[in-house]
Structures are given as structure tokens and as C-alpha cells.
Structure 1
Amino acid sequence: MFNKNTVAAGVAAFASVALAAGCAVADGNKADDVDITAMSAEELAEHLIFETNSWRDQEMQEGGGWRDRMTQDDIQKACSFDSTRNDLDGETAGQVVALAREQYEAPEGDIELGDWRQGAVLADSGYGYRIGHNTDDHGTREAGGNCYNCHVMDSSVSVQGTIGPNLENYGAQRGDSQEIRQYVHQVISNPHQYFPCTQMPRFQGLLTEEQISHIMAYLLDPESPVNNR
């Protein structure tokens, strides 16, 4: 999902200039109905984005429309504290963990691993959920996990990110018990259960359970190149 505060921040920069200059910002055909001069830059940004219908709505692959993407859920709201602040207070962290555990859907019975080869493809694929003039079509190509964008998983892959922890030899170091599988499933599905306000996406609902099982196999299967470095 888009972070509503992040989207609004960019418009807020324009809004600050507009207010400082005393400019009138048109509200469709109702420019006289709203006194934008009484708004803060943040309020004006919210107004321009959500109330003026100045953007073209589109149907999302996950259902709903663009407005739904830009509307924060409870976890996003709780994690939208001042970006200049480096700490996360305990009360907010506890709230986020509780919300994440409420959202998480555990699979029934033992967790099975999928095919690590398919997991490698999903880890490398950033396809999915993009909108615009050429919106991604999940009917012709499945969404990927884009894991390499943030993690080193297989050092033979030339381009990998370092925002998240290095996952080389993940399964080799931790084993492949049901407890480890449950933990990995929880983190991939909703990482806020263990890392409140993390930058890692919540993949439950974006990837299928089968896709998650393939990525888990890529991390845990002894035959996976992740565990042979």
C-alpha cells in the first residue's frame, strides 16, 4: 500500500509555497466553497489529494481503488511518526505488534515448504501492483516478492539490496523445524509481529500461500543456493 503521509508530504511542499504566496488553488468547479488560506500545508495536501477529485481513480489488482491505496490502515497510522525521530516508543511498538498479530492468518496444520526454484524466481521478481498507463496484469503474470531489493540471499546474484539483513545460509544456520517454519511464515506474512514499524511489506494477501511456501523453501531448503554459500 501507499503510505498516505508520504504521498501527502510531497504535495505539502507545493502547498506551503501556494499558501505563502497567497495563491488560490482551484477545487474543481467549487473553488469558492473551501477557504484554503485557513489550512495548514498538511491539511491542504490532504484536501488536494482526497477531496478535489483531481486525480484519475483506477481499479486496483487487490480490489478497491486508488483512494483505498492511499488510505492508511491502523498499523500505517501508528507507524507514521516524525521521520526525524530515530526511536520507537514502547507503547506504539506494543500497539503495532498487537495489531499485526490480529491481522495474521496462520495456516492450518504443519507448514510445508514449496519449491525453492520457484522461490528464487519470486525473490527476484518485482512485478505486481503497479498502476499507471500500463497497469500490471496479474492475470497474465504473477506478482513477485522483490526480496532482492532489500536482502542479500544468494551472493551469486549480481544486484541485491542491503536495507534488510543478509539472509545467506539462513536455513543452514537455523535448521528447518516446524518452529522455524512458523516463524519465517509469520515474518513474511506480517513482519510487524516481530519488527514493529519495519520497512518490510506485509505479504499475506499480496502473495498467495503457495508463493509464500516457495520463498520459504528458498530460505530453508538445504538444496537452495541460499544455504550453499
Structure 2
Amino acid sequence: MNKQFTFALSALASMLVAGCATGPSSADLDQMAAAIVKSSFSDKGIVKVSAIAPEDINVACTAADVAGKPIAPELAAQLQAAQLKTIKWPTDGQYLGDWKAGEKLAQSGRGLTWTDKADTANGGNCYNCHQLDPKEISFGTIGPSLTGYGKSRGVIANPNSAASKAIVEYTWGKIWNAKAYNACSVMPRAVHKGIITEKQAKDLMALLLDPKSPVNQ
């Protein structure tokens, strides 16, 4: 345990004890907690401490969660608008890649550890939160089931309709940066945060929207 960590932890403990009489401010506690975090983490391999740097959107959502109430609608709209600007649309106008590659990606949770190389392909980890193939018997339930995603939304039957175009664009944006549509979404901002590439995003799009994909069977 280094000296900075020991000092921060001791100071925090002292403040908590003193709090019985004086009540430390939340700002003081936040400052001490930040010092502990800063002294406890360091860059290692491809994993950088900057990945846990606080952002306005995360700070606001955490504060709302601690308060036990939803984030204010006006603030949510403001934060979502900023996130929406980070989405990059396909320059070639093509949203769908290879659904078979997308299926492998969705079922892979590997990557982003300090032992990985920078050129290691990350998984999408989609299975951890969603059911994809209707035949699956093991899947996460944090997010909604995605079975029949394109079929149930009319994209398969009417791919050229305005409604289908809107669904395709929304799906692309959701994969790129989920917080653009839900400020406090727990879904990873997959492409925006460099978890997956634009090509991989196209493969996931195909998994969800290609009529031959098992998702739409």
C-alpha cells in the first residue's frame, strides 16, 4: 500500500468518524474517494487509467442513481444531444455486413484486458445482456430479447420504407453510442469507446437485420 493511498484512506476514515459529530460534506468525501482511486490504479498494457475518468453523463447518472430518482428530463435531453453528435454514419451508406461474423462477435466476450495486444479483436459481449437466437437457452436478461429484431419491426418485409430506414439508423446509432438515446443506459458505447470497429458494427447490424440471420428465423 503506497503512502498516497494510505494517507487518503486514513483521511477518509478520520472524516467518517468525525462525521458523527460534524458531518463531512459530500464534496470532501468525493475528493477523498477520487484520491484513493487515483492512487490505486495505474496503466498496464493496453488498459489505461483514463478509461475510468469521470464524464459529465456518467457523473449525472450516478448522482441520480444515488438519489434514488431518474435523471432530470431536461438534463437527459442535453446529455443525449451531445452523445448523438459522436455517432458517425457509414460513409458508403452500407449498414449491413456479414451476419455470420456478427454472430461470432455477439457471442464473444473476450478482449480489453491488460494481457491482450492492441490489435486483438474484441468481442461484442452481446449475449451477456440479450437473447439473440430464439434457440438459445442461456443468455443475459439485463437488456431486452433481440429475437426477431428485424422481422418484428417490419424491416425484413419492407426494407425500403421510411419506417425501416428509421429503424436501421436507430439501430446503428444504438450500437455506436447507446447513451445518445438513453442518457443512463448501461449498454456499452461500443464503437464510440473503441470496443468494436465500424466494420464489426456492420456485422452486428446484419445479425439483427439480415433475413437469413438466426435472429430473424
User: What interval of TM-score do these two structures reach, taking the shorter chain for normalisation?
Assistant: 0.7 to 0.9
Amino acid at match of 2:116: D
The structure whose residues are more often helix, as a share, is 2
Offset, 1:160: 0.7
User: 1:76 — aligned with what?
Assistant: 58
How many residues are aligned here?
Answer: 193
Offset, 1:19: 4.1
Deviations 1:84-106 (A, max 9, x none): 42322112211111111121112
Offset, 1:59: 4.2
Amino acid at match of 1:151: H
Q: Name the CA distance, whole Å, in 1 between partners of 2:172 and 2:78.
A: 21
Deviations 1:62-88 (A, max 9, x none): xxx32x112123322332224242322
Q: Name the CA distance, whole Å, in 1 between partners of 2:84 and 2:107.
A: 28
User: 1:28 — aligned with what?
Assistant: none
Q: State TM-score, norm by structure 1.
A: 0.74
User: 1:118 — aligned with what?
Assistant: 101
1:222/1:57 CA distance change after superposition, 3 Å = same
Q: Determine if contact 1:111/1:181 at 8 Å carries over to the other structure.
A: no
User: 1:193 — aligned with what?
Assistant: 180
RCO comparison, higher one (Cα < 8 Å, 6+): 2
Q: Determine if contact 2:46/2:116 at 8 Å carries over to the other structure.
A: no
Q: Name the CA distance, whole Å, in 2 between partners of 1:69 and 1:95.
A: 23
Offset, 1:214: 0.5
Q: Secondary structure at the match of 1:188?
A: helix
Q: How do 1:1-229 and structure 2 match up within 5 A?
A: 17=13, 19-20=15-16, 40-50=28-38, 53-60=39-46, 65-66=48-49, 68-84=50-66, 85-131=68-114, 135-139=115-119, 141-174=120-153, 175=155, 176=159, 177-204=164-191, 205-228=194-217
Q: Name the CA distance, whole Å, in 2 between partners of 1:72 and 1:43.
A: 13
1:17/1:182 CA distance change after superposition, 3 Å = same
Q: Name the CA distance, whole Å, in 2 between partners of 1:193 and 1:49.
A: 28
Q: Name the CA distance, whole Å, in 2 between partners of 1:122 and 1:146.
A: 7
Q: State TM-score, norm by structure 2.
A: 0.77
Q: Name the CA distance, whole Å, in 1 between partners of 2:132 and 2:179.
A: 21
Q: Secondary structure at the match of 1:162?
A: coil
Q: Name the CA distance, whole Å, in 2 between partners of 1:14 and 1:124.
A: 44
Q: Determine if contact 2:95/2:205 at 8 Å carries over to the other structure.
A: no
Amino acid at match of 1:219: L
Q: Determine if contact 2:107/2:126 at 8 Å carries over to the other structure.
A: yes
Give the RMSD, CA atoms, in angstroms: 2.7
